[in-house]
Amino acid sequence: MGIQCTVIKGDLPIEISWALNNQALTSGDWDVVIGRMSSKSSTLNIDYIAAEHRGIYTCRARNRAGESSYSAELKVNGDP
């Protein structure tokens, strides 16, 4: 599974970060791979989805002018 976070408008530099259930995520946490596509785009990939991956994923983009975020819930069938 992979999702992409892209900033449509905004001045560089832009910092893009990811969180799972309001806890910061870095590449390697929970078998998650985070990559940077460009200065305004980031991806989050999980090769094998498991019950522990369920939750609310948030992409947050910020620069000197402010910040914006988008969240989406990943639901996984199976035992937690």
* Integer Cα distance of 57 and 16 in angstroms: 13
- Give pTM, 2 decimals: 0.91
User: What average pLDDT does range 9-24 have in this prediction?
Assistant: 96
- Please give the CATH topology (third level) of the domain spanning 2-74: Immunoglobulin-like (2.60.40)
Which pLDDT score, from 0 to 100, does residue 79 have? Answer: 65
Percent pLDDT > 70 in the chain is: 98
The span from the first CA to the last CA of the chain, in angstroms, equals 18
* Integer Cα distance of 66 and 75 in angstroms: 30
Sign of the four-CA dihedral 63, 25, 59, 8: positive
Domain locations in the chain as residue ranges: 2-74
* Integer Cα distance of 7 and 32 in angstroms: 21
